[in-house]
A and B are shown apart, each in its own frame.
Chain A
Amino acid sequence: MTQEKKPKKTIAPKKNPMPSQDPVQRARNFDEVTLGYSEEAVVAEAKRCLQCKNAPCRRGCPVEVDIPAFIALVAKRDFAGAIKKLKEKNALPAVCGRVCPQESQCEKYCTLGKKHEPVAIGRIERFCADWELANGVLPQEVEPPTGKKVAVVGSGPSGLTCAADLAKLGHKVNVFEALHVPGGVLMYGIPEFRLPKKVVQAEISNLKNLGVDIEVNAVVGKFAVVDELLNGGGYDAMFIGTGAGLPYFMNIPGENACGVYSANEFLTRTNLMKAYRFPEADTPIRVGRKVAVLGGGNVAMDAARTALRLGAEESWIVYRRSKNELPARHEEVDHAEEEGVKFAFLTSPTRIIYNDDYWVTAMECLQYELGEPDDSGRRRPVPIPGSEFVMDVDTVVVAIGQGPNPLVPRTTKNLACNKRGNIVADTETGATSKPGVYAGGDVVTGAATVILAMGAGRTAAKSIHAYLNGKN
């Protein structure tokens, strides 16, 4: 549409298909589901891009990756150039290419998408990042040391991005992480079959090459509180990116019975602690015959698909709205269906039934119908009176959301939080109510996305840099 003079090129209406493992096979292993484009496929896909002058796709990307520019380089097979272009805006392309909800972000606004399938921006992005990992990561430039020290609390995507940006500007950065490995949800939450842990660790070793020190086993609020780190700890500023790690439960009877997990526990045992390799790895997990996962987001899909891989005969998603409202990435829903995950829509549990030994034996549910739209614009689910029925399950995984962990807010003086316990931070700067303390990611927004957390880390890094310069 923008190229009038050239002969009209014919555009393949569909995305180049993503090669993936056979659904039956992959539903029983933890290897990555999608295999990534070949060089031929990625170039063909890049050539589908119309190189729109106004680049509407960019507006859909929370960090405004220069999408047409990097895709043009891919079309010319300049992969090194493409990754460089990507990294100007996105510090974790190997991660974002895999887990961004592209259908509601960049690809949603793609011009091609009006008539055909949009350009597979995420898949091209992933190819570039994987190409770089395979061909050696180019060393990044680091400014001369400024003599300023910054503490970053939490090593999820927000903390990692903030740390990398500050390190490149010449500041000394120490990251404190509560768990024994850095990465946040990328390590403990999102499963191996969707985001291989070696990809995450490669991004983290990048950070170490920039001179960032990561201290694991360091719970801020316990071994030291924020004020101690700032006054006397030698830090000139601080970023808090502690995420939304506090699992919510339904508050229905029977939720403490044996066989009821929070999604966090279920996924942490499996991903972080490698329970799928028990007994080679020491941490056990027990997945029953029939698993019900409560919720419809990415976390729920991950738990339901993990359950199959751990050997469950049946794995159900129990969601109180309908398929159209599922908040999970479309690709994950499709993958889950292909793998045999079953869906009980318009259904919500009322109690969990257990035996004399306190083990789950069933779950009583209520059927719902969709009523008027609510605040979120989605139609509100309304229970149908008298529609109770019993689902035969022996494991229940609760995946209805997470709140911010209260450890840091509880132990930090003068740090303003909202009613839900989220730290209040300026969206433009990341500044909190406490001078020198910035925050971003899920701890501010509530459970959101990797790319938003990353963007918040980047914003805060800019503000911290300005703050430190002003502090001279």
Chain B
Amino acid sequence: MYRVVKKEVLAPTLNLFEIEAPLVARKAMAGQFIILRVDEEGERIPLTIADYDRGKGTITCVFQEVGKTTKELGALSEGDYLQDFVGPLGMPSHVENFGRVVCVGGGVGVAPVFPIARALKETGNEVIGIMGARTKDLLFWEEKMGSACNELHVITDDGSYMRKGFVTDVLREVIEEKKDIGLCVAIGPLPMMRAVCDLTREYGLKTVVSLNSIMVDGTGMCGCCRVSIGGETKFACVDGPEFDGHQVDFAEMARRAVIYKPLEQQALSRFVEKQEHSCVCGCGGGEK
């Protein structure tokens, strides 16, 4: 069992968990992920490693409540235990001195991009950070990202904080202004990563993205996570999750991501209903 040592609600459906898992923390690297199960009946869901503390033996994950499992996870409190927690899985980010790099994080994608930006900066890169969110309330880790970047741009879709617009708007300006960028790392929702890749392709700027395909084991055993990279099938859990964004078949990814949508919705409404029924105090759930 793995203890949640810290919980922070970053935004209404956005949580940060610090989880005790010394064996994972000992080896964790930027770009890798873990798979967890909340309880005995739980499904295995992957979350990216947003930070780690080898001394304390903890892993930090940031997750968005989007369905049954992430909602259930969000209902846990500090001191609660997770049934299973395995990692670090996937290949670490490729970090070297590229000179100048851009790191783009969209929405919850800011969390996985942070340790990569930090590692790139520590390796001597000049890191330009771009972070975006739908609205001000969903922004988090501005300060933390600031510390991992030499320069940070923040933008919101609705203009409720800083500039109004999309991360690609800033990215285009940055590319135009600073010609010699060695690498772009972009993590966020699929449409965002796709838009970033469409843009950087125009400039021939190599772009790395992290793919959130549906997974089961995370060890290369089931093939459920397969993605098409430059026409070749790869398993995101062992060959990735990071790939050359210009080679990714985003259309295929988008279709495969919704394979279980009707079933997921069924599970979610059943869960929400159950939570409402078991709660008499009007607290909105949380009681098991």
Contact = CB atoms under 8 A, between A and B. Distances in A.
A258 B255 contact: yes
A358 B224 contact: no
A222 to B, nearest CB: 6
A273 interface: yes
22 contacts: A178-B86, A179-B217, A180-B37, A216-B84, A218-B23, A222-B88, A223-B27, A256-B227, A256-B233, A256-B256, A262-B223, A265-B222, A268-B216, A268-B222, A273-B216, A280-B41, A281-B41, A282-B68, A284-B43, A286-B263, A405-B220, A405-B221
A256 B252 contact: yes
Interface in B194-226: 216-217, 219-224, 226
Contacts of B263: 278-279, 284, 286
A283 interface: yes
A245 B221 contact: yes
A203 interface: no
B69 interface: yes
Nearest to A267: B222
Contacts of B163: none
A269 interface: yes
Nearest to A357: B255
A245 B216 CA distance: 13
Give the secondary structure class of A's interface: loop
Given A179-B219, A256-B227, 18 more contacts: A180-B84, A217-B85, A222-B87, A222-B89, A223-B23, A223-B24, A245-B221, A246-B221, A256-B233, A261-B223, A262-B223, A269-B222, A278-B267, A279-B263, A283-B216, A358-B252, A406-B238, A407-B238
Interface in A214-249: 216-219, 222-224, 245-247, 249
Contacts of B259: 258, 286
A80 B274 CA distance: 49
B44 interface: yes
Q: Which 6 A-B pairs have the closest CB atoms?
A: A265-B222, A284-B263, A282-B43, A217-B86, A358-B255, A262-B223
Interface in B23-41: 23-24, 26-27, 37, 41
Given A218-B23, A279-B270, A407-B238, A284 B260 contact: yes
Contacts of A269: 216, 222
B124 interface: no
Interface in A267-314: 268-269, 273-274, 278-284, 286
B264 interface: yes
B252 A219 contact: no
A241 B57 CA distance: 29
B228 interface: yes
Interface string A168-181: 00000000001110
Interface of B: 23-24, 26-27, 37, 41-44, 68-69, 83-89, 216-217, 219-224, 226-228, 233, 238, 252, 255-256, 259-260, 263-264, 266-267, 270
A256 B23 contact: no
B256 A358 contact: yes
A315 interface: no
Contacts of A406: 220, 238
A280 B219 CA distance: 25
B27 A222 contact: yes
Contact of B221 (A180, A222, A223, A268): A268
A96 B220 CA distance: 27
Contacts of A224: 23, 27
A224 B87 CA distance: 10
A348 interface: no
A66 interface: no
A170 B86 CA distance: 30
A257 to B, nearest CB: 8
A273 B221 contact: no
Contacts of A258: 255-256, 259
Given A279-B267, A282-B69, A284-B260, A178 B219 contact: yes
